[in-house]
Chain A
Amino acid sequence: MTAVLRVVKPGLLTTIQDLGRPGAIAGGVPPGGAMDRLAHRAANLLAGNPAGDATLECTLVGPSLVAERSCVIAIAGGDLSPKVGGRDAPMWTAFTLAEGETLSFAGRRAGARAYLAVAGGFEAGRWLGSRSTYLLARRGGIEGRALAEGDMLERAVDRDVEPGRSLEESLRPDYTRRVLRAMAGPQIRRLDTASRRAFFGEAWTVSTQSDRMGARLEGPELAMSGEDVLTFGLVAGAIQVPRSGQPILLLADHQTAGGYPVVATVVSASMPIAGQLAPGDDVRFELITATQARALRVEQAQRLASLSAP
């Protein structure tokens, strides 16, 4: 383990994340992990790491980090205007941060979360098999909390990697096209015809009451019929509609069970876009079938295929 980056400014919410702890859900623990797994994987692969290594998830206002020693890094996901020594740093491309240089972020241009990988992966505390930070239970990552000024980030493995690897521009997601594909949920019939049309036809706005657990959505009035349902197991992407009629899109740190009707579920290929939503963004839902979802998933898996090859 070697100290590679020192935290000068922590940013708004910068946490260590990996691909989460999917096996823990039956024990009541959310899967957690990177909100945008496509970008997380891409950053790792660009930096020469396995896709599941720990990265830094930087939210809206990124951190300022000083290189304690020369290291190869890659930034993918939302464009928060990364800078090295005041000059634009590349996205979706591995580059060398020389000893003493400062990486900072000048502001949000697209998306909400940038993923920073270091060659060798970040070292951090594990909980239930994952290094992902879970803020509610204060576990995983760096003492279960967001980065703080003065933290020293360590690299798990010292690995020599050539900089320069890049993901072709056409393969990078367009985070400004906020259309989430979703399949009908178990309780979709609780919405009357007009509400169903409104749900899939109109734009929703992400409320300020949104976090890694879920995004609350503001928009058209939805008319729901029937009572709450018997509590059942939930998944990231599920869209609950409580009696208030204000939908909640469940995200990485979601509650594992609940009793509000689920009217739709965002499919896995759209979850990277869902993970890049920020308060104030507008978002739309498009109803698709399981077959269409499968095609989208296959297409998305192929995007990173050029990076996985040794």
Chain B
Amino acid sequence: MPPARSTQRIRIHPLGDTALVAELGSRLDTALNTRAIALGAALRKRRDVRQAVAAYASVTVHFDPEQTTHESLGGAIKRLAAKRPKMEIPGRLHRIPVVYDGPDLQDVADATRMPVADVIALHTRPIYRVFLVGFVPGWAYLGPLPEELELPRRATPRVQVPAGSVAIAGRQTGIYPLAVPGGWHLIGRSSVRLFLPDSDPPSLFRAGDRVKFFAAPAR
């Protein structure tokens, strides 16, 4: 991509007086995510940046207001983002067993007009990318989910989703690491521990990792 074009597209929004969001785009897209991760890593090396959190297609930057301003840091970000990112080193591949017996599995099959077996086959087909780690400790946003399984979030979120639930929403999939409220469709469960409190960061998955699900028998 020519630098001039990518620079033009970046939008800088203040997020209060000590942070900003640099938006590279608004699509769920591996190339955009790769750029966001690279930009986040480059920004973390700056002295005026306290923390940089890369998301799908943006970087949220926490900065030291004694050292810089939204305008000054925004300009630096546009210059940094114009550089071609280094070739990404492929992330680790995790193979995750899933028991497909979630409470929403039949509803998903009905809504997508396919048999349950096809829902499982579609969900286990791709090698998903970890786009970002966040929301709650251990949670990772995985995608893209096959188009055929794309559904909006549940109209009413659950007050508590059991830890280990495997869920889908939009073009995304993920595993609830802790018991938290949630609005995604629960299609299965996994016994793999995602929240690793004794590791830093305390998460099995890292942004850029790859995840392959396979159907495991219920025990």
Contact B203–A27 (Cβ < 8 Å): yes
In the complex, residue of chain A having the shortest beta-carbon distance to the beta carbon of B180:
A136
Known: A27-B203, A28-B134, A137-B197. A231 touches B17 (CB 8 A): no
Taking CB atoms and an 8 Å cut-off, the chain A residues in 177-191 that contact chain B are 182-186
Given A22-B62, A27-B203, A230-B56, A186 and B138 contact (CB-CB distance below 8 Å): no
- Does any Cβ of B come within 8 Å of A1's Cβ? no
Are A257 and B132 neighbours in the complex by a CB distance under 8 Å?
yes
Contact yes or no, B70 A290, CB < 8 A: yes
A129 nearest CB neighbor, chain B only: B200
Residues in A neighbouring B133, C-beta threshold 8 A? 27-28
Q: How far is the CA of A233 from the CA of B24 in the complex (A)?
A: 13
Question: A113: shortest Cβ distance to chain B, in Å?
Answer: 21
Q: In the assembled complex, which residues on chain A have CB atoms less than 8 Å from the CB atom of B197?
A: 127, 137, 139
For window 239-261 of A, CB contacts with B under 8 Å fall at: 255-258
Query: In whole Å, how far is A210's beta carbon from the nearest beta carbon of chain B?
Result: 14
Stretch touching chain B among A89-97, A153-161, A265-273, A277-285: A265-273
Tell me the interface secondary structure of chain A in the complex: mixed
Chain A residues, Cβ within 8 Å of B58: 230, 232-233
Interchain nearest-CB distance for B77 vs A (Å): 14
Q: How large is the interface on B (under 10, 10 to 19, 20 to 34, 35 or more residues)?
A: 35 or more
Complex interface: stretch among B47-55, B97-105, B110-118: B47-55
Q: With contacts A137-B137, A294-B17 known, is A234 near B202, CB below 8 A? A: no
- Interface pair B200/A27, CB less than 8 Å apart: yes
Query: Do B17 and A268 touch (CB < 8 A)?
Result: yes
Cβ of B40 within 8 Å of any chain A Cβ, yes or no, is: yes
Partner of A255, one of B14, B59, B135: B135
Tell me whether B14 and A24 are in contact (CB under 8 A).
no
Contact B14 A265 (CB under 8 A): yes
B51 with A26: CB separation less than 8 A: yes
Return the CB mask of A103-117 against B: 1 if under 8 Å, else 0: 000000000000000
User: Which of A22, A29, A186, A255 makes the CB contact (< 8 A) with B21?
Assistant: A186
Residues of A within 8 A of B27 (CB): 230
Name the A residues within 8 Å of B52 (CB-CB): 26
Q: Are B15 and A185 in contact (CB under 8 A)?
A: yes
Cα separation A293 to B15 with both chains bound (whole Å): 12
Chain A nearest Cβ from B107, distance in angstroms:
20
B190 at the interface (CB under 8 A from A): no
Given contacts A238-B15, A257-B134, A290-B69, contact A24 B201 (CB under 8 A): yes
Interface residue A98 (Cβ < 8 Å from any Cβ of B): no
| Chain B residues whose C-beta falls within 8 Å of the C-beta of A127 in the assembled complex | 197
A197 proximity list for chain B (CB < 8 A): none
> A229: which B residues are within 8 A, CB to CB?
26
With an 8 A cutoff between CB atoms, is B60 at the interface?
yes
Interfacial chain A residues near B53, Cβ < 8 Å: 25-26, 233, 256-257
Say yes or no: A184 contacts B201, CB within 8 Å. Answer: no
B176 within 8 A of A: no
Q: Which of A3-44 contact B (CB under 8 A)?
A: 22-29
B178 at the interface (CB under 8 A from A): yes
> Which chain B residue lies CB-closest to A269?
B17
Whether A237 is near chain B, meaning CB under 8 Å from some CB there, is yes
Check: A128 CB closer than 8 A to any chain B CB.
yes
Instruction: For the complex formed, measure the closest distance between the CB of B46 and the CB atoms of chain A, giving whole angstroms.
Output: 14
Contacts of A257 in B (CB 8 A): 53, 55, 132, 134-135, 141
CB-CB nearest in chain B for A23: B51
Report B's interface with A, CB cutoff 8 A: 13-19, 21, 23, 26-28, 40, 44, 50-60, 62, 65, 69-70, 132-141, 178, 180, 195, 197, 200-203
Complex A-B: 7 CB contacts under 8 Å: A28-B138, A28-B201, A29-B201, A232-B60, A256-B135, A257-B55, A290-B17
